[in-house]
Amino acid sequence: MPQAAGAEEETNVRVAARVRPLLARDTAQNYCSCITAQPGTNQLVVGTRRGFTFDLVFDTDASQSSVYVGCVSQLLEGSMQGYNATVLAYGQTGSGKTHTMGTGQPVPEGSDEEGIVPKVIRNSFHHIEKHKGSVDFKVSCCYLEIYNEDIRDLLQPGGHKGHIAIREDATGGIKVTGIHAETCSSAEEMFRCLSDGSVQRTTGATLMNEQSSRSHSIFTLILEQRRRLTNGGGEGSEEDYVTAKFHLVDLAGSERAKRTGAVGSRFKESVAINSGLLALGNVISALGDPAKRGSHVPYRESKLTRLLQDSLGGNSRTVMIACVSCADIDFEETLNTLKYAHRAR
Ligand code: ADP
Ligand code: MG
């Protein structure tokens, strides 16, 4: 296992913002852009006055590759050394979360449209291929959805028989019991899990996209390595075991209940979802602020933060990507998203 990062001062939590361009449907309605990125400053200005600074800013013309290289590739390198990692896409419905994560429609390999999850899968297997002479790898994946504080296993069609529970072991590691982890021997096998699970996510919903925009989805790669360390001259070899989890999270839409006109049970849903996002904001904010180091981190306030507990903070690396639409019709939600993300930073 890796040693603690020690007195390292830099935080392992980074917050990025990505602005999606106007879509055909926006221009058809004569909506205009209300966001400007200040070149070279990592600052976004909404409207005429409100400025927000982030660790990284991706403007409307940023490619999928630049997002991956800017905030995800170093997390994968860390995971290969045994550090857990989490990438979270936050934002209102339609702001580009699924596009950024790359879990919507499959795109051709190597295409610039390929988002974060396919790139993580491909690069994991590239790494394995490169090092398979000296390291034994085992790679598996899980795909879950949290809806109304209930966990659903997207890799077990028709739902799960057993009870899904989140447990913490003696060393603080989090284990989700009652779910399926699929061992994959190639990127293609893992892509199949990703697409099967993504189909489950949308067709399982009564109101199609309704539920998927109200649930958090978590695709997790579990990377296990046994390095074969040969002892000088001897025939025996020592094994060095390293494992890491890489969580890729497409969060529920952050829009407020009032805008969707939610009533009754729908309203209860939005409250439950917001409590997950609220808990996440509190956790990230507590982790990212050096002044709050050593103080209580409220992981237990939601299933989402509980499940991610050992992969947020500590030695793990976290990136939150706040996705916003540049269209003026979305001004209010954009402001809400940037405030949330800025506070998290
Ligand atoms: P969300 O998952 O947040 O609801 P989507 O990822 O589904 O949003 O994006 C909504 C629409 O905007 C989709 O049609 C998507 O292709 C498009 N889109 C999102 N981000 C971008 C981008 N950076 N460049 C071009 N189109 C984008
Ligand atoms: Mg989506």
Which CATH number covers residue 165?
3.40.850.10
In 10 A of CB 29, how many CB atoms?
A: 11
Query: What is the spatial order of strands in the sheet that 35-38 belongs to?
Result: 35-38, 43-46, 50-53
Q: Determine whether the shortest distance from the Cβ of 323 to ligand 1 is under 6 A.
A: yes
Please name the residue that has the structure tokens 């996705």. Answer: 323
Q: Determine whether the shortest distance from the Cβ of 214 to ligand 1 is under 6 A.
A: no
Please name the residue that has the structure tokens 């630049």. Answer: 66
What's the whole-number average pLDDT of the chain? 86
Atom in ligand 1 nearest the alpha carbon of residue 323: 3
Q: Per the structure block, which two tokens stand in for 74?
A: 């170093």
Give the pLDDT of residue 83.
96
44 pLDDT more than 90: yes
6 pLDDT more than 70: no
Alpha-helix runs per DSSP H in the chain: 24-28, 64-71, 73-80, 97-101, 116-131, 187-203, 209-214, 257-260, 264-288, 303-307, 331-344
159 pLDDT more than 90: no
What is the mean pLDDT of the segment spanning 100-119? 88
Q: What confidence tens digit (pLDDT) does each residue in 124-146 have?
A: 999 999 998 889 999 999 999 99
Q: Please check whether residue 124 is in contact with residue 139, taking contact to mean a CB–CB distance below 8 angstroms.
A: yes
Give the pLDDT of residue 5.
42
Q: Per the structure block, which two tokens stand in for 60?
A: 């409307």
SS3 of the chain: helix, strand, coil, percent, to 5: 35, 30, 35
Give the pLDDT of residue 203.
56
Give the pLDDT of residue 296.
82
Please name the residue that has the structure tokens 């050394």. Answer: 81
Residue 305 within a domain: yes
Residue 224 within a domain: yes
Tally the domains of the chain.
1
Residue 63 within a domain: yes
Residue 178 within a domain: yes
Give 164 Cα–ligand 1 centroid separation in angstroms.
Answer: 32
Residue 324 within a domain: yes
Residue 26 within a domain: yes
Q: Determine whether the shortest distance from the Cβ of 64 to ligand 1 is under 6 A.
A: no
Return the minimum-mean-pLDDT range out of 155-159, 233-237, 267-271: 233-237
Residue 5 within a domain: no
Contacts 24+ apart (CB under 8 A), 167-176: 168/309, 172/309, 172/310, 173/310, 174/306, 174/307, 174/308, 174/309, 174/310, 174/311, 176/142, 176/144, 176/151, 176/307
Q: What confidence tens digit (pLDDT) does each residue in 260-310 have?
A: 555 566 656 556 557 789 999 999 888 877 676 667 889 999 999 999 999
Q: Determine whether the shortest distance from the Cβ of 62 to ligand 1 is under 6 A.
A: no
Q: Please check whether residue 320 is in contact with residue 159, taking contact to mean a CB–CB distance below 8 angstroms.
A: no
Predicted complex ipTM exceeds 0.85: yes
Closest listed ligand to the CA of 198: 2
Q: Determine whether the shortest distance from the Cβ of 97 to ligand 1 is under 6 A.
A: yes
Q: Determine whether the shortest distance from the Cβ of 201 to ligand 1 is under 6 A.
A: no
Atom in ligand 1 nearest the alpha carbon of residue 91: 3
Q: How confident is the model at residue 39 (pLDDT cuts 50, 70, 90)?
A: confident
22 pLDDT more than 70: yes
Give 186 Cα–ligand 1 centroid separation in angstroms.
Answer: 28
Q: Please check whether residue 321 is in contact with residue 62, taking contact to mean a CB–CB distance below 8 angstroms.
A: no
What is the mean pLDDT of the segment spanning 229-247? 73
Instruction: Convert 250-285 to b/e letters by CB count within 10 Å (16 or more is b).
Output: bbbbbbebeebebeeeeeebbebbbebbbbbbbbbb
| Domain that includes residue 94, residue range | 13-286+297-344
Give the residue whose CA is nearest to atom 5 of ligand 1.
Answer: 96
167 pLDDT more than 60: yes
342 pLDDT more than 80: yes
CB within 8 Å of 38: residues ≥ 6 apart: 44, 45, 51
Q: Determine whether the shortest distance from the Cβ of 78 to ligand 1 is under 6 A.
A: no
Give the pLDDT of residue 255.
87
Residue 154 within a domain: yes
Q: Determine whether the shortest distance from the Cβ of 20 to ligand 1 is under 6 A.
A: yes
| Global pTM value | 0.91
Give 167 Cα–ligand 1 centroid separation in angstroms.
Answer: 35
Task: Give the whole-angstrom CA distance, residue 79 versus residue 63.
Answer: 24
More confident site: 38 or 204: 38
